[in-house]
Amino acid sequence: MNILAVLRQAEAKLKKQANKARQQLDAVRAAVKILGREAASGGKRIGRKKWVMSAAARARISKATKARWAKFRAEKKKGKR
């Protein structure tokens, strides 16, 4: 049995294992990076906060918009536009 050939086989086997371990490590690092963002934010959303508008504000905006459109339609009917 050739000792050099056996050592080369062992080296090739170890290289394959090292590559597989490297790929797994990269996957774990990617997962940690993604989960790390969530942990850093305390589980809260990252980015802009959701804008919450009160019902009263929505009603005011709706009323103003309807008034603008009514004015637009009235002017259009008169032929001003």
Q: For 4-36, what is each residue's pLDDT tens digit?
A: 999 999 999 999 999 999 999 999 888 888 877
- Residue 48, in any domain of the structure: no
- Residue 11, in any domain of the structure: yes
- Residue 46, in any domain of the structure: no
Which pair of structure tokens corresponds to residue 52?
Answer: 């919450």
Indicate the number of domains in the chain: 1
Backbone angles phi, psi at 37, to 5 degrees: -65, -40
- Residue 49, in any domain of the structure: no
- Residue 34, in any domain of the structure: yes
- Residue 30, in any domain of the structure: yes
- Residue 7, in any domain of the structure: yes
Q: Which domain holds residue 70?
A: 3-41+54-78
Whether the CB-CB separation of 81 and 75 falls below 8 Å is answered with yes
Flag whether the pTM goes above 0.85. Answer: no
32-60 pLDDT, tens per residue?
888 776 655 565 666 677 789 999 999 99
